[in-house]
Structure 1
Amino acid sequence: MMDGEACSPMMENNHQMEEKTVPISCVRKILRWCRKNLLLVLTIAGVCLGVFLGFLLRLAAPSKDTIMLISFPGEILMRALKMLILPLIVSSLIVGLSALDAKSSGRMGIRTLVYYFATTFAAIIVGIILVLCIHPGDPVLKDETIAGSKSSKLTSLDALLDLIRNIFPSNIVQACFQHEKTAYKNVTIPKKQIIYVPLEDGNRTYDILNNTLGSLANITVSNETSTTTILPENMTKIIVETMETVEIRYFPYADGINVLGLITFCVGFAIILGQMGPEGQVMVKFFNILNDIVMKLVVLVMWYSPVGIMFLIAGKVLELEDPSEVGRRLGLYIITVITGLVIHAGVTLPLIYFVICRKNPLKLFQGVFQAWLTALATASSSATLPVTFRCLEENMGIDKRVTRFALPVGATINMDGTALYEAVAPIFIAQMNGIDLSFGQIVTISLTATCASIGAAAIPSAGLVTMLMVLTSVGLPVEDISIILAVDWFLDRIRTSVNVLGDSYGAGVIAHMSRFELAAMDHVQDYQIELNSIEKELQDLDQMTDNENKPIKEENNVYSKR
């Protein structure tokens, strides 16, 4: 009995110690994970604090200057990220493609384009199905909202030709900071109309025209009497000169990097550089070093990003006029767009990745979560590009030859979220105006939205500009775009995060499909390195043999002279 009584307290103590060690071990695991993913934790905290700070400061009703100062750290983050876009695109494309032969580059390019176009079209189909089923448009919305957006003359042809012009820039240096964009302007030109009347009626006709038309702006009336052979004999020439306003098309340069033009130049440059062999290795090393330097700068900027993201989101929340009123009027529209984006990002893209790669798509999402949050805060695929590079290469271990080609191209032409948005918004505007779209018009919207998403710049709210082209293609009122402006800042961030996620899944799919070619190229490169090493050893051995035989040859020469 004594032994049993003595053992029971010891067993209770051991059980209590085990209960204490379980939560302690869990806490340690959590702390270890937080320490390992400190930057990600800080970024999530920055997003949450930004939303909280923004709604808290709204109670104080800050002035515009105060809001500008609150947003200023976020503006610094955007500037720092944009500063790295140009050197990152140039160095990454050249380094990635110069390591591939022309055949492999072509295959990878075809796979990339096919994947991007397929996912873009899939996003458009999801958006169209949802907007037709949910039917968020209501004619009452138009009566409640004052439309004040200017009409645009930009057509689908203009957008398509702008896309092609920017693919082939006339000045590669100018392409680093400007791109061509079609615009329209009004030009006033003089127009003359000559009237001949008999001499006896000339003065009377002149007086009538001068009294009736001369008082109008841009109209001048003059008469000329002549008895020479220049004018008919005994006739008076009355000149009515008007100033006519004509709209003409011209092609100015707009601020912003011409990414398509840079990609075209860098792809051609890198392929030729790779074919030069040993002669081009100096240039390859230069761009390798440049890429390493830029990626180290990216790391520095990323450690500042939690602070910048917090103030960036806080400033956007403070700029909201009346969230409850906007939600009441456009709630169904917001739900439609977000549902479509969630389906595409949470079902379509992971399903494609799983079917092709046979890998867990959640692991890839976890690996690029930092880039996803950055896209959510900055609303710019280009600004997120440095972060996406680092996440895919370091967290997921995807081959740099794939990421350095697929990501810059994807940030320019793969706009799944933007394409879905540009398919939903025109149909929403049509429903709001009580217009029933035909099947042909819906197909036109699908094709135009695809082209518009490709041509959209990877900057905040770029989808609104290309939206005008989609509305014009089916004859919908362009001025009604102002109705959805109130929620565009919010939806823009979500669709940009979907764009970045689509690029990331695309890089994973392309890396999987190109794995055998990349492995074969690695094998050839290893064989070439080994062969070069053997050749160098043989050269060193020959040199040593020559050095050893040199004294013997000298002695033989001395004896032969004797």
Structure 2
Amino acid sequence: MANLKNMNLTSKIVFGMVTGILFGTYLQWLMPNGTDKLIPLYWFDLSLKGFIVDGLLEIIGQIFMASLRMLVVPLVFVSLICGVCSLKDTSKLGRIGGKAVGMYLITTAIAISIAIAVALLVSPGEGVNMTTDSTFESKEAPSLAQVIIQMFPTNPFESFAQGNMLQIIVFALLFGMAIALSGKAGERIAVFFEDMNIVVMRLVSILMNIAPYGVFALLASLFTTVSLATFGNLIEYFFVVFFVLLMHAFITYPIILKILTGLNPFIFLKKMRDATIFAFSTASSNATIPVTLETATKKMGVKNSIASFTVPLGATINMDGTAIMQGVATVFIAQVFSQDLSLADYLTVVLTATLASIGTAGVPGVGLIMLAMVLQQVGLPVEGIALIIGVDRILDMTRTAVNVTGDSMVSIVVAKSEDQFDNDMYSDPQAGSNSENVDIK
């Protein structure tokens, strides 16, 4: 127990993740096929499913997720306002936004291109005989025009309540620019938001202390139902997607980082550990924003004026991991249904998925909606999505980890190009280990 107390936060989170997986797997062994197991005590029978899985683990895990989501809106809003206020020239905002959006679209296009190439090489769907009795009902994605219109809130408070990140980002940008252009009155308001930013970041630090317990509960609960047996005949599809996700995170991102910034990519990957573990555990880029933002500003050396914009924007529109799933899934479904796709079809898949990464940014179930759009574009049956839903949970967690890695990489590239980057902090292995000693403005 003394050794556990001496662990750093990363080690504690990893320990919670591993023990959660093992404990969940053990509970699944005790309760095969979802059956409950009663443990007799002195005065009552303890239900493993009712008391442990649906009780303690569910409560701890959901409280942890609620706490993360609770921080997202105030953190993004306050931090983004501080970032815009700190820009001496507000005209830089358009240039920064253009670079960020451009980088996110380019990495998404690269991701799906690699996915299609690897899937065609491996051919995971060749010779698979599967029925399509189950169907998938896809929601209609909004048009690009609707997305652009809906980015501007009619009621900012409603946007806050609904957690509409695109609208919150737009309102925060406009509000921050107004503060920057309001002279003395704006300076007084800016001081308030800078103090508020320190308070919110301290709240993030407090939440990090309960993270290992939340991660343990989430993964223990998940692995009471998920096992390799679930994958069945889709195991090859699963490992192709998983392999391409890892390749994108550990090869594509480091190469881009090295070419565009000259920085050591091994330092980048090492410092991303906390954020990627959180993303894997929560399967939500938005819920991971507090950790991603803290990693970018306190460990990587990205100035808040850049990170406060690029990180929440990336969590909203960066879909590299989802694009990889779409690329492999398109090839897999085409092979399962014995339908040949032309080069033009594959180019259509790349273009559709890349542009859809922005067009479906605020839609629930975004990955499957985007995949339905892609399949329809090339004439493949949307019902094929039902074939891969059963194995999508672990892949969803992994691609979220890839997405937040991309968010941080793009933040570094943009910050470096704008001379808003601290090289010494990036090179310091101890940077961010003690948040109280780090300037978070």
Q: TM-score of the superposition, structure 2-length normalised?
A: 0.86
Aligned to 2:40: none
Give the drift of 1:113: 1.5
CA shift in 2, pair 1:433/1:511, >3 Å: same
Give the drift of 1:153: 6.3
Question: Whose strand fraction is larger, Structure 1's or Structure 2's?
Answer: 1
Matched, 1:107 2:12: no
Q: Is the 8 A contact 2:302 2:422 kept in 1?
A: no
Matched, 1:449 2:433: no
Aligned to 1:508: 412
* Amino acid aligned to 1:50: G
Aligned to 2:167: 261
Matched, 1:374 2:362: no
Aligned to 2:137: 151
* Amino acid aligned to 1:168: F
Q: Measure, in 1, the Cα distance between the counterparts of 2:422 and 2:295.
A: 20
- Give the number of the structure whose alpha-carbon radius of gyration is greater: 1
Q: Any residues of structure 2 matched to 1:54-453 within 5 Å, and which?
A: 54-61=24-31, 63=36, 65=50, 66-69=52-55, 70-100=57-87, 101-138=89-126, 140-143=128-131, 147-152=133-138, 154=140, 158-178=142-162, 257-320=163-226, 323-324=228-229, 326-453=230-357
Q: Measure, in 2, the Cα distance between the counterparts of 1:501 and 1:95.
A: 23
Q: Measure, in 2, the Cα distance between the counterparts of 1:169 and 1:435.
A: 43
Tell me the alpha carbon deviations over residues 215-268 of structure 1, each in whole angstroms, 9 at most, x when there is no partner: xxxxxxxxxxxxxxxxxxxxxxxxxxxxxxxxxxxxxxxxxx211111111112
Aligned to 1:239: none
Aligned to 2:438: none
Task: Report the number of matched residues.
Answer: 403
Q: Measure, in 2, the Cα distance between the counterparts of 1:123 and 1:34.
A: 40
Q: Measure, in 1, the Cα distance between the counterparts of 2:364 and 2:140.
A: 20
Give the drift of 1:415: 1.7
User: Secondary structure, in 3 states, of the residue corresponding to 2:130?
Assistant: helix
Q: Is the 8 A contact 1:471 1:478 kept in 2?
A: yes
CA shift in 2, pair 1:153/1:364, >3 Å: closer
Q: Is the 8 A contact 1:175 1:258 kept in 2?
A: yes
* Amino acid aligned to 2:272: V
Unaligned ranges ≥5, structure 1? 1-30, 179-256, 520-562
Q: Measure, in 2, the Cα distance between the counterparts of 1:68 and 1:46.
A: 19
User: Secondary structure, in 3 states, of the residue corresponding to 2:155?
Assistant: coil
CA shift in 2, pair 1:319/1:56, >3 Å: same
Give the drift of 1:431: 1.1
Give the drift of 1:516: 7.0
Give the drift of 1:96: 0.3
CA shift in 2, pair 1:497/1:132, >3 Å: same
Aligned to 1:222: none
CA shift in 2, pair 1:147/1:270, >3 Å: farther
Aligned to 1:21: none
Instruction: Give the 4+ runs in structure 1 shifted more than 3 A.
Output: 62-66, 138-141, 150-153, 455-462, 516-519
Q: TM-score of the superposition, structure 1-length normalised?
A: 0.68
* Amino acid aligned to 1:276: S
* Amino acid aligned to 1:291: N
Give the drift of 1:159: 4.2
Matched, 1:468 2:368: no
User: Secondary structure, in 3 states, of the residue corresponding to 2:379?
Assistant: coil
Q: Measure, in 2, the Cα distance between the counterparts of 1:59 and 1:366.
A: 35
Tell me the alpha carbon deviations over residues 36-84 of structure 1, each in whole angstroms, 9 at most, x when there is no partner: x611110000110011101111121154535322232111111000001
Aligned to 1:558: none
Give the drift of 1:34: 9.1
Give the drift of 1:383: 0.5
Give the drift of 1:385: 0.6
Give the drift of 1:515: 0.6
Give the drift of 1:139: 5.5
User: Secondary structure, in 3 states, of the residue corresponding to 2:209?
Assistant: helix
Q: Is the 8 A contact 1:379 1:459 kept in 2?
A: no
Bigger relative contact order (CA 8 A; separation at least 6)? 2
Aligned to 1:46: 16
Task: Please report the RMSD computed on the Cα atoms of aligned residues, expressed in angstroms.
Answer: 2.3
Q: Sequence identity of aligned pairs in percent?
A: 35
Q: Measure, in 1, the Cα distance between the counterparts of 2:201 and 2:279.
A: 18
* Amino acid aligned to 2:135: S
Unaligned ranges ≥5, structure 2? 37-48, 424-441
Give the drift of 1:272: 2.6
